Every structure is written in C-alpha cells, then in structure tokens.
Structure 1
C-alpha cells in the first residue's frame, strides 16, 4: 500500500501500523484513559469508543474503522478545543488538555491506518504536544519520532543561502538595519572565560551582576551542526508557534502555527516579512535538537531541580526586537549563531523605565530604548545601562528581574535557560 507523498511522505501502511501500534499498551484495558481532572460525562464514552475501534482489529483497521476513529478524533478535539479557549490558560483543567491529546492521538493513528501521507499525522502530534498534556508516557512524542523517518525530506531549496553567515561575510539583512551603538567601556558588560562555580557564585550570582561567559558552550554539538539547512532536515515538517512582527508590543503583532519549513521560506528567506520563532517547548517537542545543547553547570547553584529549568529557543532574521522587559527567573542567554545587541538595566531603575500599567505587559517598558520619547518619558535618561554585542559561542548571564532589550543584528539562533 505504498504511495509517493512528496515532502509529506508515505509508507507501507501495515508495516508502519505495526511499528506505531507497538507504542501503545498491548491490551485495550491497558490504555486506561485516566484523566487528571474532571471532564463532562459525555466525554469518557467517546474516548472508550475510540479505544474500542483501535483495539477491535487484530491487524490494520479497515477503512470503515479508520473513518470512524477519525470522526471521533474530530469530535474530541473540537469539543476540548472550546474548553482550552474558554478562559485564561492557567485556568484550563489538565483533564481537558489530556482529552485534546487523546483526540490528537486517535486522529494521527487514523491517518496512519488510512494509509494517507503522514504530514497531517505529524501535525496532529505537534498540536497535542503544544496544547495538550502528556498521556501514556508522553506517547505523542514517541509517535512523532516514529513517523518522522517515513517522511520524505523536503527538496533542497534557497534555504542554503540563509545559513549562518561565514566569518567576515556581510549578513543579507544588514543593509536595512541601523548599526548598534558601540558599547562604551564604562557601559560594557564584563567578560569571563570558564569561571569556577565558586567564582561565578560569589562575584556574579550572589551580588546579581551581569557577565558574558566565554568558552562554556564551545563543546556543544549545536556550534558545529546548526544551520538553516539542518533545521529543515531535522524539523522542517514540525508545526511550531511563530510570532509575526518585529516586536510583541506592536499592534500588528500576532502568532500563528506553521511548519518550520514554511517559517523559513516565508520569514527567513523573504526580507519583506518579519517573523520570529520564540518557542518554550521546542526542545521537548523535538528531542533531536535538545541533544545538541547542554544545561550550563552554573544552573546547579540554583534552588530548583534540573527538570525545573525552562529552555527556550529564539530563531529569527535580523531586525527582530525583544522590547525592554524583565523576567522572574535567572537567565543564561546562549548565542549559537548570529549576533545580538543587548542592553541591560538594573531593577533599581524600574521607575525610570516606565513599565506598562496593564497587567499583561507590566513587565515591559513603554520606552523605545534606541529611539526614546524623552518628552513623554523624561526620567529615562536617569537610568544607567550596560550593553554588549553577544557573539556566537558567548553566554550572557541576566540576573533575575534585570531589564533587558535585545535586537538581532542578523539571522540568529539563541537558547535561553530560565532557572531559580
């Protein structure tokens, strides 16, 4: 039952079905459908019917069973989606997120059973990973990893021209960007090469002083492997949230789900569009990328466990900006490729930075750092700052609550580690 599916991919359905079926419990009773929270009574019968269809056939489900499983998947996803979007995300019950995950799981399995191209099955897995909650030992992550090798790679295209610029090469976007202010010595952030844990703790962590660390990430595989081509190869078919617009405080700013390949072609290769992949789940969603980085040893000086560290990805063209803002945790910002201009302000200067009054943006300044309106924000000139141009292979320590403004000078990829 093989079929050619282009970049979407396809494969021999019985063989692939056996492979993905092995990821599930052997018996129907083993798939417990346990939910961490209450859901409406009508949901569990739907889940049980979908489970019965899944286990009703010894081998590959027939066309009628696959179609029925797909319909149930649609109902489960649509119904739980309404619950996920009924109010603030923090108030969404975990049970409803798990129902959404089961809906995505049954939908992806229905796609495999029907022998269709696998792009939709992979997208359903990604939606469940992004919006749902883990079930069955995070089965969606294991399922998408099994499906991905059966997807044919996207044909090579112009993305090769957008790889990280070679040393001394002028990046494609530099012509339309204003140069960053050169850091003056009194404003510069100190640099340190591979300090001991004790030295970093006593001189920077405890007194809460920013510092640029060098040599710490030289051995990370990402420093040699990562490029636009590599992302297309490893994650091109994966669906991720993308921020559209130069900065999140702009009125036209929005978010959209799209594949990594579409993001690269529309927002990396096209200089007329500005988009940014700012992802808090990318490394959990795509473990192949997580294997290419390491958590800095200095995070062990924190109070939390390693599992409490949040790892974020920041991938976008030159010109994208993170407005002046502060975060509630310590931050290591690691630069993999490209350069970024960064300016830091102490929390002691918060009043001079004019934070937004709204609850949503209370951690963000109203001031355009590089073009401030001093009539509207006169005290901004009283705030002292430090700045740097963060180069590939450098890690900036941003203490908790320190205000930071970031502008990409060219195509760049950064990884940040939030820890307490």
Structure 2
C-alpha cells in the first residue's frame, strides 16, 4: 500500500495572470518546466560551478538525526568547506545536506545568474536560499515557519517531492509546538501498521529535474528526497491569506520561543512528550484505538 498521492500538475511555462488564477488563488501546487531557460543559472549552475565560485566558503551541514533538546533552532550538525562537500556529494552517498544557505550573503556574484520572476507575488529579495543533498538524503516532512508561498528551482539531478496541505494535519502525526511530523516516519515507504492515520492523508508527488520550478502554496508540508546529488534554490513571498499570516506570526513570535524555553526547562522529557502526543492526538482525531 502506498500513500494517497496525485501527481502535481505540470505546465511548460505560464503567464502571471494564469498562475494567479489557476494556482495561487485556489492554493494548488504546480511544476513549471521551462520558465528559467533564459537565466544564466540554467546553463551554469551545477555542483562543479558551485565548487568553483564558493569552494572556499564554510557551509553548515544537517543530517537526518532526530531532534535533541540540546539542539538550537536550525543549528547545524557539522561544517565543511564547500569544495570538500561537493567532492563528498559526487563520490559517495551522504546524509549531510545544506539547508537554508543564503546565497546573496555568502556568494553575491551568484545573484547575476538569476532574476526574480514576476508571478504576481512580491518575492522577498533578501532571502534566496540554497539547499544541497546527496543521493538518498532527505528532509523530514515539515512546513516553513512563515507559511510562505515558495518557488523551488531545482538544479542538477533529480529530486522527489511529496506535499500535503494544512488540511491534512490531523492525519500526519504532527509534533505539537513544532513544524515537523514524527521523524521516524518514512514518507518514501511508510509503515501503515505503525502509522495507520496516514491512510487518510491526501497529498501530491512529483520529481523535479534540472531547471524545473515547483510552486508550493502557503503552509504546504514538504518532504524532499534527493534521487541523485543536486541542489535547489527557494524564493519566497509572504503569506497573503489572513489565517496563514496569523499562524506565521504566532509561529515566529510565540511558538518558537515557547518551544525553546521548554527545552531548557524540561530537556529531553519535553521532546519525548511531544513525540508521544503526536501519536495520541492523531489517533484520537482519526478514531484509532489500540
């Protein structure tokens, strides 16, 4: 048995008006296949080029270890020179990923390789973020703290993306006071005996290839798995729907600080309680017993 997923719609290219009417307004995802072929990045950006222009930079690395109460918010698990990291990606599978790397701040010359597209939303121009991963590395299922509209541009190789909207929260084993689901769920090959509520979740799936753009609407959960080594860049626009904007403000100014305070006070007991509550609450909402 597999997750209940439908393929994300695909278009070759799209006008601003069509994007707003067909995808932004109804808050549906879409893959745009040939939107950035006029960007210099389309031809230039690959792992070797990143090694050339940013090889001297020290980059933060993350893996798939479970959250520990000692970990700060988005605190890296290791650091490495970009040149060494690219060599690692190309030579062997690795769980290490680069997560939320601000390309403008770190390597300003890369800004010349792309432009901010006009999809009808005001993109945050100070926050183009890069994400790198090795073969079979993956992100936990999560959604972004600001519930932004995200445009995810993929470069080199292939990446699998699984998405759920916020209406699926009750079936995803969401961790309270967090932005993630249970970390021991394998969304690529889920165990429905262990996680029966997942049968009730309805989501989307696609595989992104070089130069393709994935639009993820506000607050969409996303799980990303690198089929081959590669990297992506995300551009984002602030949430426009009042409910999502309210959630974003709560997450940033209340939930994050509350969670950090409870980690300091209760330590690992807080993490363990949240993980247990994810099961208790999900089972209750889905009338699952035993």
CA distance in 1, matches of 2:76, 2:15: 42
1:310–1:419 CA contact under 8 A, matched in 2: no
1:399 match: 217
Q: Distance in 2 between matches of 1:272 and 1:384?
A: 31
Cα distance in 2 for residues equivalent to 1:200 and 1:373: 36
The question of 1:316 aligning with 2:133 is answered yes
Spell out the pairing of 1:78-227 with structure 2 (5 A cutoff): 187-227=6-46
**Could you say what secondary structure the match of 1:209 adopts?**
coil
For the Cα contact (< 8 Å) 2:35–2:213, is it kept in 1? Answer: yes
- Report how far residue 250 of structure 1 moved: 6.6
Displacement after TM superposition at 1:275 (Å): 1.5
- Number of matched pairs: 228
Corresponding residue for residue 155 of structure 2: 336
Q: Would you say 1:291 and 2:112 are equivalent positions?
A: yes
TM-score w.r.t. length of structure 1: 0.50
Structure 1: which 4+ aligned runs deviate by more than 4 Å? 250-254
Of structures 1 and 2, the larger Rg is shown by 1
Supply the distance in 2 between the matched residues of 1:269 and 1:338 (Cα, whole angstroms): 11
Higher RCO (C-alpha under 8 Å, 6+ residues apart): 2
Deviates more, 1:191-200 or 1:205-214: 191-200
| Structure 2 equivalent of residue 278 of structure 1 | 99
- Give the TM-score taking structure 2 as reference length: 0.71
Q: Which residue of 1 aligns with 2:250?
A: none
Structure 2 residue runs without a partner (length 5+): 239-290
Matched with 1:419 is 237
1:410 to 2:232 alignment: no
Q: 2:154–2:208: 8 Å Cα contact kept in structure 1?
A: yes
CA distance in 2, matches of 1:215, 1:273: 30
Which is helix-richer, 1 or 2?
Answer: 1
Q: Counterpart of 2:200? A: 382
RMSD: 2.5
CA apart distance, 1:248: 5.5
Asked if 2 retains the 8 angstrom alpha-carbon contact of 1:221 and 1:292, the reply is: yes
Post-superposition Cα deviations, 1:301-329, rounded to whole Å, max 9, x if no partner, equal 23x5643x621101221111012111211
Instruction: Please give the per-residue CA displacement for 1:159-217, whole angstroms capped at 9, x wherever unaligned.
Output: xxxxxxxxxxxxxxxxxxxxxx8x99x81111112211111101110110001112211
Change in CA separation of 1:390 and 1:231 when aligned onto 2, cut-off 3 Å:
same
Give unpaired runs (5+ residues) of structure 1: 1-180
Alignment match, 1:155: none
1:1-150 matches, cutoff 5 A: none
Note if contact 2:134-2:230 (Cα within 8 Å) is conserved in structure 1.
yes
1:230 corresponds in structure 2 to 49
Contact 2:138-2:226 at 8 Å conserved across structures: yes
Counterparts of 1:382 and 1:321 in 2: how far apart (Å)? 23
CA distance in 2, matches of 1:306, 1:316: 24
Superposition pairs of residues 302-313 of structure 1, within 5 angstroms: 302=121, 304=122, 306-307=124-125, 310-313=127-130
Q: Secondary structure at the match of 1:389?
A: strand
